[in-house]
């Protein structure tokens, strides 16, 4: 593996880690474009498989940190994640059979959807003491299955879909949903990356570089997040516009390689 590519992946991982620390869900969607157009990975499937592995590890670290604060609603989180596991595996298998150019077109559409979701107003109203009920389970399971399918197909964490789904099905707060969503992000990413790895579509050195850079970026993101606390809405909108521009670039490159 070329040293320059590893350095680029490490720097890109640092940027993604910082963005995730500052903005939460949505930042990891930049991993695949970064591997393709900055690092120089030629196969879209390898880029998606490798980024999914990195996203899974980052989410697991975040989940451990959030669990210590008591913010994770485990029964709801595991119900959603468990239902979505089959969807993630199915989505990954379908994506591996799809032409890389078509897959990137779909990926660009998902990026655009993530950007739009980040521009929408965020409400934290909800019940911080929510408890899983049979009625909630009937809502969580199909939502989890559908989200897992999308996450596996496009190799994304799916956090931008998971948190709203958890809030809609259970009535929990945004803070609890964001923390609880990490269980699904970690599981979906692991399932997707293992499926790709079995087909030889995960680049180990680039994966390690992304993880190492992500750890540095996450640490650097903590003080940045505090500094931007009073301008969170403006900063989030600026980031969403960047994601939207990246989505347009991915679509153009897919149509005109």
pLDDT digits (tens, 9 = 90+) for 105-131: 998 998 888 788 778 776 656 888 999
SS3 helix, strand, coil % of the chain, rounded to 5? 80, 0, 20
pTM value is 0.84
Q: Are 237 and 115 in contact (CB under 8 A)?
A: no
Structure tokens at 63: 């989940």
pLDDT digits (tens, 9 = 90+) for 8-49: 999 988 888 787 766 655 667 888 999 999 999 999 999 999
Longest dimension (CA), the chain: 53
Q: Which of 146, 246, 191 is nearest to 49 (CA)?
A: 191
The span from the CA of 243 to the CA of 220, in Å, is 21
> What is the span of the domain harbouring residue 219?
3-255
Looking at the structure of the chain, the number of domains it has is: 1
């Amino acid at each position: 593996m070329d040293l320059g590519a590893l350095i680029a992946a490490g720097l890109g991982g640092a940027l993604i880690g910082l963005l995730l620390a500052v903005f939460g869900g949505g930042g990891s969607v930049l991993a695949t474009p970064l591997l393709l157009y900055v690092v120089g990975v030629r196969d879209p499937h390898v880029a998606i498989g490798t980024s999914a592995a990195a996203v899974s590890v980052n989410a697991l670290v975040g989940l451990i940190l959030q669990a210590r604060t008591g913010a994770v609603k485990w029964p709801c989180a595991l119900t959603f994640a468990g239902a979505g596991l089959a969807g993630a595996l199915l989505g990954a298998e379908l994506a591996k059979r799809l032409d890389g150019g078509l897959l990137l077109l779909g990926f660009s559409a998902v990026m655009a959807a993530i950007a739009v979701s980040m521009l929408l107003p965020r409400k934290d109203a909800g019940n911080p003491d929510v408890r899983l009920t049979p009625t909630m389970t009937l809502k969580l399971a199909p939502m989890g299955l559908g989200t897992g399918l999308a996450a596996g197909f496009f190799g994304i964490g799916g956090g931008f879909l998971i948190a709203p789904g958890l809030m809609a099905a259970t009535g929990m707060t945004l803070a609890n949903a964001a923390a609880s969503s990490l269980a699904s992000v970690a599981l979906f990413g692991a399932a997707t990356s293992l499926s790709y790895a079995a087909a030889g579509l995960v680049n180990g050195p680039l994966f390690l570089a992304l993880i190492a850079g992500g750890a540095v970026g996450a640490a650097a993101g903590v003080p940045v997040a505090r500094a931007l606390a009073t301008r969170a809405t403006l900063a989030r909108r600026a980031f969403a516009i960047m994601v939207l521009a990246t989505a347009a670039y991915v679509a153009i490159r897919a149509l005109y390689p």
